[in-house]
Amino acid sequence: MKVGFIGLGAMGAAMASNLVAAGYHVTVWNRSEAATEKLASLGAKVASTPDRAAQGDVLHSMLANDQAVREVFLDGGLLDAMDPDTVHVNHATISVALARQLAEEHAKRGLAYVAAPVFGRPDVAAAGKLNMLLAGPHAAIEKVKPLLEKMAGKLWPLGDNPERANVVKLAGNFLIVSAIESLSEATVLTRAYGVNAADFIELMTSTLFASPVYQIYGRAIAEQRFTPPGFALPLGLKDVMLAQDAAFSERVPMPLAGVLRDSLLEALADGAEGMDLSALARASERRANLSGREETSRSIKR
């Protein structure tokens, strides 16, 4: 089976590497050619243009946002260049509105479209253990399932309507940001009373909140380790705002989403552009003037 893969960021590169390792003939394309070098060294063929990566049985894409997807597939005319027998599997986290439009545009051209966004950080992707959401035509999903099983530890089917996978992905990312914000605020509260952050987070993540999201981001908060980003903070803001758009479309109130949006904006304004979502903790710390309090406490003790 000939496979194309477009979009080789940290996640896309890891996912494409698994397909190459599984023995598939993979052709890759990325805006930045430097990102293709590692895939080429593993045996992938590098395409000079996206349409050349789409000349196969299946095309995977993992682009950063709505704008990138529109530019490549709609404005760039890639859909018009694809063979009607090709299945397009879109792993990107995109808006519900764009998901609907993509489903319509693929159908107009007789193309099969599968939405397959994922939960997992780059290290999970490299291990082939992603949780992958699936929505689209049953026949198309069955055709690509052997490929998806090389990249995912578990597949989660959500029906024939592609937008369902995207709204579940947005809802899940909303929950991730909510967890990080609440953990950040709770940690600052305990620190204000002299409790060591690592001790508090170990207690919480070993008992009441013994789950990967709290454990992974909790360690980063305790260690003040915000780079390199596993889930970049600007992408978290993008996803919260997309969840708000989806909620507005169906008149679903999400008051907490507004709080999260503003907290993320505050973190970005304070220089967290290239940091992980766990850098939300810096905003909580600054609101409480915690650094100033701790410095005053140390001065008094001296």
Give the active site residues.
169
Sign of CA dihedral 127, 116, 235, 26: positive
> Which of 104, 82, 100, 92 minimizes the C-alpha distance to 235?
92
**Cβ proximity of 111 and 137 under 8 Å:** no
Sign of CA dihedral 173, 197, 122, 150: negative
CA–chain centroid gap for 168, Å, is 12
Separation of alpha carbons 165 and 249, rounded Å: 16
DSSP 58-111: EEEE--SSHHHHIIIIIIT-HHHHS-TTPEEEE-S---HHHHHHHHHHHHHTT-
Which residue(s) pair with 46 in the sheet? 28
**Cβ proximity of 116 and 150 under 8 Å:** no
Instruction: Identify whether 228 is preceded by a cis peptide bond (ω within 30 of 0).
Output: yes
Vertex 14, ends 241 and 101: CA angle to 5°? Answer: 40
Please name the helix (run of DSSP H) or strand (run of DSSP E) that holds residue 269, with its range, or none: helix 255-269
Residue with tokens 């981001």: 217
